Amino acid sequence: MEKYLDLTNKLISSLENSSLEILEFKMENFSLMLKKNKPIEKNLISEREVTRELDKASVKVSGFDKKEEVEANKNIKTLRTPILGVFYSSKSPDSEPFVKVGDQVKKGDTLCIIEAMKMMNELKAPYDCKVIDCLVNNEDFVEYDQEIFKLEQI
């Protein structure tokens, strides 16, 4: 086994010092294929850098719009699950969902049910609000502290 290890190290060294991209070697019951990674061009800008630059540019171009939008969205909060389980938007498959996007609900109204260990847990509205978005689908499995609703506090 040790002779194969030495041989492999020598083959790797040979491949690194050559212009070959692939080296395939077979001997007795030993077979080895080595491939070089193509070098990354340093002139190329990473996708992350491009995104960062575009974000900076959009903030500069539409800075006033962003500020107004942030002020309008101060009352929008995300509701997270207190437990993990299965998300249900209604009491039964035949009934209407507890809430729909655009609905206004009072504090204590049921927003959904999360089934955990065969127990149905109603998730209530923490304050008077308007449902801006539901971030999960009916019967999706939700994790603890996962975002499930965007609510605008009224």
The sheet carrying 119-124 orders its strands as 119-124, 110-116, 85-88, 141-142
Q: CA-CA distance, 69 to 85, in Å (whole number)? A: 34
pLDDT tens-place string over residues 122-134: 999 999 999 999 9
pLDDT in tens, 3-14: 667 777 787 787
Fold held by 72-153: OB fold (Dihydrolipoamide Acetyltransferase, E2P) (2.40.50)
Spans of all domains in the chain: 2-35, 72-153
Q: What is the pLDDT of residues 13-55, one digit of tens each?
A: 877 787 777 777 777 777 777 777 655 444 455 556 656 665 5
SS3 54: helix
